[in-house]
Structure 1
Amino acid sequence: MSAERPIEANEAARRVAACVADYAPAHGAPDELLDRDGRLRAHWRQFLESLTSFGADGLEQRFAAAARRIDDMGVSYRVHGEAKERSWPLGRLPLLIPESEWRDIAAGVAQRAELLDRLLHDFYGEARLVAEGALPAAAIAGSPDFIRAMCGVAPPGGRWLRFYAADLGRGPDGEWRVLGDRAQAPSGAGYALENRLVLSRALPSLYREMNVERLAPFFRDFRASISHVAQRIDPRICLLTPGPWSDTYSEQVHLARYLGFTLVEGEDLVARHGKLHVRTIAGLKRADVIWRRVDADWCDPLEQNAASQIGVAGMFEAIRRGAVVVANMPGAGVIESRALMGFLPELSKRVLGESLKLSNLATKWCGRESERKQVIEALGDYAISGAFSDRLPGFGERREALGRTLTGEERARLIAAIHQRGVDYVAQEPIKLSTTPAWSDSRLTPRPFVLRIFAAATADGWKVMPGGFCRISTRLDARAVSMDASAQSSDVWVLTSRPIEWSTLLPSDDNPPIVRALGSLPSRAADNLFWIGRYLERAEATLRVVRSLEARLGELQHIDLEGRQSIERLARLLIAWGAAPEDTPDMNAMQIAWAAAAGAENYGSALSVVRYARRAASIVRERLSQDVWQLIGRIETRLTRAGARAITEPEALELTERSLHTLAALSGLIDENFNRVAGWSFIDLGRRIERAIGTCRFARQLAGDDATVETLDALLDLLDSQITYRSRYIAGAALAPVLDMAVLDPFNPRSVLFQAMRIDEHLAALPVLRNDGVMEPPRRLSVKLRAELESADARHLDAAVILAFEQRLMLLADKIAERYFTHGADGGAANSQPSRIA
């Protein structure tokens, strides 16, 4: 045994040596893998020994599994200005931070968060620092993030900052430095959590061996602290998002789901009597805490940017009255300005009585004459950037200017601008971002990175997330890293010398209250769930018609004239739905069928409708399981790929069948796994209304006065009722029995009456606005429709009667929308919802 160990150690050393043989950090930039003397750091050696033991094929399998999981989870981001989301670019290796280093980082970030919170209290309160000459007023008031409407406001809960982030990098000496502060609406914590979920499952044994600190305790403490400040037993905590077009919407969804917060947009909230309320299906419900991801300038169109459509009119007044806790307070973004960085070392000594534990980049603010003069005289030694902006004022989209790289004309222009408005500029020491190893082409390569560390205010002080959000650039000369097309993200592993206990977000209380309420579902969420149900049912109906048409086309040579009539009617049905173009050459039924299934240009095709469903699902992603999201995406991907290539008739039928099977699995998943709360009621209401409307249209098209045995047979196929019909009736398909089964049979799960019964049951269970015993308009319609269907006689059904039922169903859908999907401040119906595909 002892003879084998040296052999194993030698083999591990050989693998590691081969892995780092060509690794060459940039000159003058500290590196995470190698120390100053070019030696492999001990914690990286341990990591690489275990990593390389998987072998090249094993590693590729694990990395491929991680990529699939990212797609399955729907982790994505949007590059600013782009309409389409990108799949999340997770690097294959984590950033490793040993315990000894982490202690210093965490202490420095916690200290900095406390300092900045106290500064905000002074800026918006007594302003003693300005009065005593410790800080120029222009360094504060010059920032567009200084919100004057918040002056004199005592923040509910006593904190201006509740969630803070610091961007870190190593300086030339190898020590960690703060590159920037984030307090406006810090992003990245959700992505850090998703990175951990993906990478820990891709490398589970390695994750355990390295004793990586868990993230769950940090989020548990944050949730507990933000719940406590609401001072209600069961507070309603909302995460305010700019909406699905936000660059980081996927992260916001994940955080809301993980923490159990209600994800809301500005239109979901309304101010009334100095308080904020959520518009729900049960009327207005008090919002106690807002964790905002909307910049302060856009939060309240009454007092800030009047053009904002993503804020809440009256939010600032609710804050002033102490009626809502906001994290972070509007105006907290002022501490992000670079103008303050040069003052922080002295302010720390003045306010906290101690030096900064994490130093800044050396910063000179050109708003002070002495520093302005120094900067101009030694311009080549500095990087010049905006004091209050991410852009260099006067230089378009340019972020900064390196003094030593400026042309004579640029230099003169910049000096003139600094002389004219020095308050707008800062000069900082030029830095070369330190590097960390990234896996590329089966080898390690150094890449520049920026590490974002998060801190949350709790009852026990500031808690720092033991990990972070690491952004890695693919450009070796990068001086900053943002999540654009050329960047990756990486998980951050804080290593300890002790085994880590498993932890969750479950409360420590041994006797928590038991709740079985339906929940206060936001109106916007109900709207989108309702339309998810409608879209999925519409896609299924379209594919059922396509399948029936394809099957009949396959038997065309054996079909008589009456059989061809059913083919023509099915084709006309698809054209009438907008699933296929009207100008199909020679009314080619196969082309119509395939266009209806996978034609991206047809608004009513199955592919288009599934895309509508996915879009609606993305807005309420926090309310859907990963399985639901994954299955919707799987159908879309399958139809998209099929529509992009030539396909044979047998392949077309097989693809249609497989898509229907996936939709059936999705329906079963929703039925069996969706908790019977209000959200499920609306998704099922959408399905039932759409199915009833579809059945009416099938019946009008295929069971009219001129119906044939073949058209009636096609109707039974569409309703999955062939077996039941044959078990009831010995004779072939006849008009009245088929219509009874399609429209009036209370035992047929695809009949119109069956849907009407379920619709009425849902509406009876939903909350009402007024407990006066009077039926609300949707319920009144559903009761009447159900009664008429239950008392109808199939022998008296014709196209006009069925059309009347169909129109009543469409009216019922409108009444549901008016009642539940948007509410004004008085709890009644208000503005109409965004238009949907009818």
Structure 2
Amino acid sequence: MDTKNYQVGDNFDEMFTEEGKCRAHYSEFLKHLKKTSPKKISHLQHAANKNQVAMGMTFNVYHDNQGIEKILHLDIVPRIIANQEWKHLEAGLKQRIYALNLFIHDIYNDQKALKDKIVPEDLVLGSKDYLKPCIGLNPPKGIWCHITGTDLVRNKDGNYYILEDNLRCPSGVSYMLESREIIKRAYPDLFNQLGVMPVSDYPVKLLKMLQFISNKEKPVVGVLTPGIYNSAYFEHSYLALQMGVELVSGVDLITKGKKVYMQTTKGLEQIDVLYRRIDDTFLDPLTFNPHSLLGVPGIFEAYKAGNIALANAPGTGVADDKAVYAYVPKLIKYYLGEEPILHNVPTYLCREEKDRQYVLDHIEELVVKETNAAGGYGMLIGPKATKSEHTKFRELIKGNPTNYIAQPTLSLSTVPTWTEDGLQGRHVDLRPYILYGEEIEVIPGALTRVALKKGSLVVNSSQGGGSKDTWVLYN
């Protein structure tokens, strides 16, 4: 297949330089691509689509009236990351997770960072995700954020920037794992030839981490799901199956004597560790949201008593706040005495008068986000929005400035993507997964999300984005 007509555009392209020269770590893949006809690539893409359907790789879109089950489109062209580049990302992510864990522990205990005015006290204590029942909590092994999915983007300067931290219930890892199995079938010889690092041992590493945070020698582990209508139910069931543990929902569990039990056909069996995929406030109707039908009454008391370990720990959501995000570089310096290895996207806090005025005056150039929204919701992309949308968001910001941040519109790097018109550049982000158990470990792969519409910067699956397999090379 000929790639001469591929347009790099005014972005950093992961495969080609501005002059159209192939980057060194993509050279072997390009050789393979040149030997493959467009018809063959179309067949490979069609086979990948069929495999996704067969594997049940679906997610639910709550706002879509046309049907709730959707396939996360997997593009046949992988994203390839050189080893040295990955080592830099790995070091930066480990540093960030370590600092965030110290921050979460601090704000629920000594609150030194608040007293030293590193982060405004009202920003943290006033956040809807700051859970007062967690004050004084010391989770097993001192770990709060066991599983993190951190979103990064690459700007036209070629540098990676942290876009946001996902420490509550980060999703998408099952798509990373299943995508790898599908893409390996499309390029069976290239994996060994290029030396692609494996990701298939993630469930083993996840289970090992979950077992580590229990005080029992042979703990009983389970995955707690909200149920079949949750958008990530495929992932919950997939991970439980891969780890060989029980998939349970709130109705399967009861608490007795500050211990948590599964109801089985043989009677009650105590459960020692839960990888929870339920948001904090729905976890226990006796402690948090009294209207929750998803959680387990009494589980928080069992947790405080040390009779069950929960991953991630309740209360971690406060570090997901997009306003708190702006202070993470300061937190790294404060807790670790180090300069951040990976930088944030420059961020304007609408709660600050000077920042707010700048945002109101330049809203056409900026991306505006709700501090507590996720999945691409509650967001304005200034250059793509209409005048009426600009006006609406100006009023929203004036009405509740604390609820909004703004950032420059980044160009987002592109990767060649298979379309009806052949290979074309599409914008991507990167979500690596980090496990924090005996040590902090970054899985050598990631979920690369891709904006399938030409020119679009919105990569979220709920907003019509797709995904790519991410190959991290040994050398």
TM-score (norm 1): 0.54
| Matched residue, 2:442 | 464
Query: How many Å apart are 1:429 and its aligned residue?
Result: 1.6
- Counterpart of 2:369 (choices 372, 378, 385) is 385
Deviates most, 379-388 or 125-134: 379-388
Structure 1 residue identity aligned to 2:227: G
Q: Which residue of 2 aligns with 1:488?
A: 466
Q: Is residue 433–residue 478 contact of structure 1 (8 Å, CA) maintained in 2?
A: no
Cα 1:479–1:277, aligned 2, differ >3 Å: closer, same or farther? same
Q: Is the 8 A contact 2:17 2:23 kept in 1?
A: yes
Structure 1 position 68 matched with structure 2 position 50: yes
Give the distance between the partners of 1:413 and 1:245, measured in 2 at CA: 32
SS class of match (2:148): strand
SS in 2 for 1:307: coil
Structure 1 residue aligned with 2:33: 51
Cα separation, partners in 2 of 1:369 and 1:403, compared to 1, 3 Å: farther
2:380 aligned to which of 400, 410, 417? 400
Distance 1:389 1:61 in 2: 38
Kindly indicate which of the two structures has a greater share of residues assigned to strand.
2
Cα shift readout 1:212-246 (whole Å, capped 9, x = no counterpart): 00113444333222212212232111111111111
Q: Separation in 2 of the partners of 1:492 and 1:30?
A: 17
Residue 48 of structure 1: how far off its partner (Å): 2.1
Aligned mates of 1:73, 1:430 — CA distance in 2: 36
Tell me if structure 1 keeps the 8 A contact 2:8–2:20: no
| Corresponding residue of 1:38 | 20
1:307 maps to 2:285: no
- Distance in 2 between residues matched to 1:248 and 1:390, nearest whole Å: 14
For the 8 Å contact 2:45–2:75, the answer to whether it is kept is no
2:146 pairs with one of 162, 170, 174: 162
Q: Tell me which structure has the larger Cα radius of gyration.
A: 1
Do 2:173 and 2:447's aligned partners in 1 also have CA atoms closer than 8 Å?
yes
Cα gap change, 1:421 to 1:67, in 2 (>3 Å): closer
2:196 is aligned, of 207, 212, 217, to: 212
| Superposed displacement of residue 325, structure 1 | 0.8
- CA deviations 1:186-215 (Å, max 9, x no partner) are 101111001111111222111221110011
Structure number with the bigger relative contact order (C-alpha 8 A, sep ≥ 6) is 2
Q: Tell me the alpha carbon deviations over residues 320-342 of structure 1, each in whole angstroms, 9 at most, x when there is no partner.
A: 11211111011111111110122
Q: Residues 184 and 336 of structure 1 are in contact (CA less than 8 Å); yes or no, is this contact kept in structure 2?
A: yes
1:164-243 → structure 2 map (5 Å cutoff): 164-243=148-227
Aligned pairs for 1:607-626 (under 5 A) are none
Report the secondary structure of 2:74's partner residue: coil
What is the CA–CA distance in structure 1 between the aligned matches of 2:399 and 2:465, rounded to whole Å?
A: 36
Matched, 1:435 2:417: no
Correspondence 1:79 to 2:46? no
Paired residues of 2:213 and 2:437 also in contact (CA < 8 A):
no
Residue 23 of structure 1 pairs with residue 23 of structure 2: no
CA distance in 2, matches of 1:21, 1:404: 30
Greater percentage in helix: 1
Do the aligned partners of residues 487 and 305 (structure 1) sit closer, same or farther apart at CA in structure 2, a change above 3 Å counting? same
3-state SS of the aligned residue for 1:103? helix
Secondary structure of the equivalent of 1:33? coil
- Structure 2 counterpart SS, 1:484: helix
User: Aligned AA for 1:206?
Assistant: L
In 2, are the aligned partners of 1:138 and 1:423 still within 8 Å (CA)? no
RMSD of aligned residue pairs (Cα, Å): 2.3
- Distance in 2, matches of 1:148 and 1:108, equals 31
Contact 2:349 2:356 in 1 (8 A): yes
Alignment of 1:207-606 (within 5 A): 207-376=191-360, 378-390=362-374, 398-400=378-380, 402=382, 407=387, 414-415=393-394, 417-441=396-420, 443-459=422-438, 461-484=439-462, 486-497=464-475
What's the CA shift for 1:380?
4.8
Change in CA separation of 1:275 and 1:399 when aligned onto 2, cut-off 3 Å? same
Alignment gaps of 5+ in structure 1: 1-14, 498-838
Q: Is the 8 A contact 1:77 1:85 kept in 2?
A: yes
Partner Cα distance (1:182, 1:194) in 2: 21
| Contact 1:452 1:468 (8 Å CA) reproduced | yes
Contact between 1:433 and 1:480, CA under 8 Å: does it hold in 2? no
The secondary structure found in structure 2 opposite 1:179 is strand
Match for residue 85 of structure 2 among 79, 97, 101: 101
Rounded to whole Å, the distance in 1 between the matches of 2:381 and 2:428 is 20
Judge conservation of contact 1:241–1:252 (CA < 8 Å) in 2: yes
CA distance, structure 2, for counterparts of residue 238 and residue 420 of structure 1: 43
Structure 1 residues 214 and 305, CA, compared in 2 at 3 Å: closer, same or farther?
same
* Over 6 Å off, 4+ runs: none
Following TM superposition, by how much is the alpha carbon of 1:102 offset from its aligned partner in structure 2, in angstroms? 0.7
* CA displacement at 1:180 relative to structure 2: 1.1
SS at match of 2:219: coil
Q: CA deviation at 1:308?
A: 1.6
Q: 1:251-305: CA deviations, max 9, x gaps?
A: 2211111112211111111111111111111211111111111111211112222
CA–CA separation in structure 2 for the residues paired with 1:483 and 1:270:
35
Identical positions, percent: 29
What is the SS of the residue equivalent to 1:383?
A: strand
Q: Against the structure 1 CA distance between its residues 52 and 77, is the aligned structure 2 distance closer, same or farther, given a 3 Å change threshold?
A: farther
User: Residue 24 and residue 336 in structure 1: after superposition, are their counterparts in 2 closer, same or farther (change >3 A)?
Assistant: same
Q: Secondary structure at the match of 1:467?
A: coil
How far apart are 1:64 and its partner, in Å?
Answer: 3.9
1: CA distance between counterparts of 2:185 and 2:215?
38
Q: Provide the secondary structure at the position in 1 that maps to 2:310.
A: strand
Q: 1:383 and 1:320 mapped to 2: Cα distance?
A: 40
Total equivalences in the alignment: 473
Distance change (3 Å), C-alpha of 1:316 and 1:374 = same
Kindly indicate whether the alpha-carbon contact (under 8 Å) linking 2:108 and 2:137 is maintained by their aligned counterparts in 1. Answer: yes
> Which amino acid counterpart does residue 60 of structure 2 have in structure 1?
R
